[in-house]
């Protein structure tokens, strides 16, 4: 058995769904694409751009690099509570595997094996994972910019890609750097994207993407995105849910995600709107760490916007409290917007009462909310 075959066999034995090999030459087409994107359109700082481009030349960054070893893992093995769908992206709901260390343990075992084979692996988060996997023949692209397994997870996009650098030459696998969407699909992902973020084949504007706007984005979510963002508070799966390439895996019977079912109270939108720092750091942050520990306001703002879009008048007391008591201007602004969106006499009364005590930016939001009524 060759070294490659032994590595592949070990990866599969550890539960990874794919193991592939690629060279370390600069990923020219990827670099060209990044360089063509205006930083202001993509919300990048110069340092983001620099590190993205640097990661695409593994051997320049790591002179000992000779090959890439790429692993594929399927993160959607269990079914999620219905209540969380349309609210949290699936990839983040299952992050507990990482938090609990299971994924890290598998990767550590894989590293031990590579070392026994005389290979010193390096993990570098700057390596473009999707391009590495396409070069290793493990995925093809979708027009929605996601990577679809060629064998993993019934060819779906519910996969995580983990690339490593190896310091020995391993013959690259046949690459699959290609778009592989069936013509009869007729761009379902683009039509399903609520904000129009996907504007062409494999072209997505992150500043319009819901996922980006839930964890990064403007201090206060821009008005034109609030309604299309619906109830998503962390991530967005709409373009993957609409995709016919994902249907076989989505239809597959899966065991329930017991942990999530037992912790539903922690993911309730009203609970999030009212959570304090201790709850945030203990319950949410370990799983959803793209939002900093210091930015509880972003969670409060997202929850207020989602509750406004739910349009349920039972949420009015919670929104009234956040408009009256939140120390964060963006949260009070979004609470005012949500009350305007829910509407009704009670919402009007709360907004009018709050107007006299507010800062200028929040007064503007209140006036707009009153106008919506
Ligand atoms: S993740 Fe959501 S907002 Fe972003 S491109 Fe896909 S459907 Fe559009
Ligand atoms: S929805 Fe259609 S066009 Fe979009 S990624 Fe899936 S197959 Fe491709």
pLDDT tens for 250-263 read 999 999 988 888 88
For the residues 226-247, what does the mean pLDDT come to?
A: 98
pLDDT at res. 234:
97
Burial of 182 (0-12, 13-18, 19+ CB in 10 A): exposed
pLDDT at 99 over 60: no
Using alpha carbons, list the distances in angstroms from residue 14 to 9, 98, 113, 130.
9, 15, 11, 21
Task: Say if residues 351 and 335 touch (Cβ distance below 8 Å).
Answer: no
Pocket test for ligand 1, best of 89, 141, 197, 242 (most atoms within 8 A of CB): 197
Comparing 83-97, 305-319, 348-362, the range with the smallest average pLDDT is 83-97
Query: Which phi and psi angles does 88 have, rounded to 5°?
Result: -125, 140
- Give the count of beta carbons closer than 10 Å to the beta carbon of residue 131: 25
Residues ≥6 apart with Cβ < 8 Å to 347: 316, 339, 340, 369, 373
| Residue 96's pLDDT band (cuts 50, 70, 90) | low
Q: Considering every ligand atom shown, identify the ligand nearest to the alpha carbon of residue 183 and give its number.
A: 2
Task: Say if residues 23 and 68 touch (Cβ distance below 8 Å).
Answer: yes
185 lines ligand 2 (CB under 6 A): yes
More confidently predicted of 1 and 214: 214
| Structural Rg of the chain based on CA atoms | 23
Distance CA 136, CA 357 (A): 60
Task: Say if residues 163 and 132 touch (Cβ distance below 8 Å).
Answer: yes
Q: Considering every ligand atom shown, identify the ligand nearest to the alpha carbon of residue 232 and give its number.
A: 1
pLDDT at res. 270:
96
| 3-class secondary structure, 196 | coil
189 lines ligand 2 (CB under 6 A): yes
Q: Considering every ligand atom shown, identify the ligand nearest to the alpha carbon of residue 243 and give its number.
A: 2
Q: Which two tokens stand for residue 308?
A: 């406004």
pLDDT at res. 67:
97
Distance CA 214, CA 287 (A): 15
Going from the Cα of 200 to the center of ligand 2, the distance in angstroms, rounded, reads 12
Residues ≥6 apart with Cβ < 8 Å to 326: 297, 300, 332, 335
Q: What is the mean pLDDT of the chain?
A: 93
Our separate counts of H helices and E strands in the chain read 22, 8
Residue nearest (by alpha carbon) to ligand 1 atom 4: 209
Going from the Cα of 101 to the center of ligand 1, the distance in angstroms, rounded, reads 29
Q: Considering every ligand atom shown, identify the ligand nearest to the alpha carbon of residue 208 and give its number.
A: 1
pLDDT at 40 over 90: no
Give the residue carrying structure tokens 């919300």.
Answer: 43
For the residues 37-65, what does the mean pLDDT come to?
A: 82
pLDDT at res. 93:
84
pLDDT at res. 38:
75
Residue nearest (by alpha carbon) to ligand 1 atom 8: 193
- Give the count of beta carbons closer than 10 Å to the beta carbon of residue 84: 17
Going from the Cα of 231 to the center of ligand 2, the distance in angstroms, rounded, reads 23
Going from the Cα of 112 to the center of ligand 1, the distance in angstroms, rounded, reads 38
145 lines ligand 2 (CB under 6 A): no
Domains and CATH numbers, the chain: 3-78+90-183 (no CATH), 298-373 (1.25.10.10)
Distance CA 279, CA 304 (A): 17
Q: Which residues have C-beta atoms less than 6 Å from ligand 1?
A: 144, 193, 195, 197-198, 204, 209-211, 236, 238-239
Residue nearest (by alpha carbon) to ligand 2 atom 5: 142
Q: At what angle do helices 296-310 and 329-342 cross, to 10 degrees?
A: 10
Whose CA is closest to 92, among 79, 75, 107, 106?
Answer: 75
242 lines ligand 2 (CB under 6 A): yes
For the residues 328-332, what does the mean pLDDT come to?
A: 98
* Ligand 1 atom closest to 89 (CA): 1
Pocket test for ligand 1, best of 142, 144, 158, 193 (most atoms within 8 A of CB): 193
Q: Which two tokens stand for residue 61?
A: 């960054």
Q: pLDDT tens, 154-201?
A: 999 999 999 999 999 999 999 999 999 999 999 999 999 999 999 999
pLDDT at res. 100:
60
Length of the chain: 373
pLDDT at 95 over 60: no
Burial of 54 (0-12, 13-18, 19+ CB in 10 A): middle
Hey, which residues does 88 pair with through a beta bridge? 234
DSSP one-letter code for 284:
I
Going from the Cα of 86 to the center of ligand 1, the distance in angstroms, rounded, reads 12
pLDDT at 365 over 60: yes
Share of the chain above pLDDT 90, in %: 81
Whose CA is closest to 189, among 133, 142, 255?
Answer: 142
Hey, which residues does 204 pair with through a beta bridge? 198
Whose CA is closest to 46, among 62, 56, 31, 35?
Answer: 35
Distance CA 115, CA 93 (A): 32
pLDDT at res. 97:
54
198 lines ligand 2 (CB under 6 A): no
């Amino acid at each position: 058995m060759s070294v490659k075959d032994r590595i592949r066999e070990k990866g599969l034995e550890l539960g990874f769904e794919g193991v592939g090999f690629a060279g370390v030459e600069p990923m020219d087409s990827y670099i060209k694409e990044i360089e063509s994107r205006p930083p202001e359109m993509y919300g990048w700082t110069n340092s983001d751009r620099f590190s993205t481009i640097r990661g695409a030349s593994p051997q320049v960054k790591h002179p000992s690099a000779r090959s890439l070893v790429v692993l594929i893992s399927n993160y959607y093995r269990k079914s999620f509570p219905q209540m969380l769908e349309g609210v949290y992206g699936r990839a983040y709901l299952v992050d507990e595997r990482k938090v609990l260390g299971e994924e890290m343990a598998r990767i550590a075992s894989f590293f031990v094996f590579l070392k026994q084979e005389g290979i010193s692996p390096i993990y570098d988060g700057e390596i473009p994972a999707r391009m590495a996997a396409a070069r290793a023949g493990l995925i093809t692209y979708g027009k929605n910019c996601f990577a679809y397994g060629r064998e993993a997870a019934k060819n779906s996009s519910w996969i995580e890609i983990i690339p490593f650098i190896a310091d020995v030459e391993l013959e690259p696998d046949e690459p699959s750097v290609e778009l592989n969407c069936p013509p009869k699909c007729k761009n379902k992902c683009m039509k399903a994207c609520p904000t129009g973020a996907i504007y062409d084949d494999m072209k997505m504007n992150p500043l319009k993407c819901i996922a980006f706007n839930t964890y990064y984005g403007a201090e206060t979510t821009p008005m034109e995105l609030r309604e299309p963002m619906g109830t998503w508070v962390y991530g967005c799966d709409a373009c993957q849910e609409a995709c016919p390439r994902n249907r076989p895996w989505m239809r597959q019977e899966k065991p329930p995600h017991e942990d999530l079912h037992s912790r539903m109270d922690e993911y309730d939108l009203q609970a999030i709107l009212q959570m304090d720092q201790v709850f945030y750091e203990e319950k949410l942050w370990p799983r959803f760490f793209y939002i900093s520990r210091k930015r509880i306001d972003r969670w409060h703002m997202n929850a207020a916007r989602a509750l406004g879009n739910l349009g349920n008048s039972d949420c009015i007391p919670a929104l009234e409290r956040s408009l009256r008591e939140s120390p964060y201007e963006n949260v009070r602004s979004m609470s005012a917007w949500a009350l305007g969106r829910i509407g009704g006499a009670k919402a009007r009364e709360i907004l009018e009462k709050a107007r006299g005590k507010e800062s200028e930016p929040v007064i503007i939001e209140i006036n707009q909310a009153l106008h919506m009524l």
